[in-house]
A = this chain, B = another copy of it.
Amino acid sequence: MTDYKIRPIGRVRSPLRDRDQAPHQGRPAGVEAELVIDEKFLEGLDGIQTGDKLFVLCWFHMAECNALRIHPRGDPDIPKRGIFSTRSPDRPNPIGLCLVDVLAVEGPILKVRGLDAVDGTPVVDLKPYIGSLDS
């Protein structure tokens, strides 16, 4: 099958410096971070406001997919299962999906709460959360 090219639209700026510091999922930990969107995509942010909920799609550039069955949360006491039944970042296409709250919009910078991606992670898409579709 054909491969496709994915092009970052921005980067995460976060106090989380490496994967060991990252919570297993961002939302419960309530980490505050910034999405620094490339100026050329600025127009695409029109309509995003403080208080919105957004899905942030990231590319976990430090992920390594070594196996299709893994111990969830890296815990050897949890039986192995298929990668697609887990949220591990170490997946064939390491796309992260994280629901965040928008705290502020300052030009190309979105301040958000609940992002589990480490500093420097490429952002590849943003989508509005729509309750009737997504829950």
Contact = CB atoms under 8 A, between A and B. Distances in A.
Interface of A: 1-9, 11, 25, 27-28, 38, 41-48, 52, 54-55, 57, 59, 61, 68-69, 80-87, 91-93, 95, 97-99, 122, 124-128, 130-135
Nearest to A83: B44
Identical subunits present = 2
Contact of A92 (B44, B69, B131): B44
Given A43-B69, A46-B80, 9 more contacts: A3-B7, A4-B122, A42-B68, A46-B81, A84-B125, A91-B125, A98-B133, A99-B135, A134-B134
Contact of A82 (B4, B6, B8, B44): B44
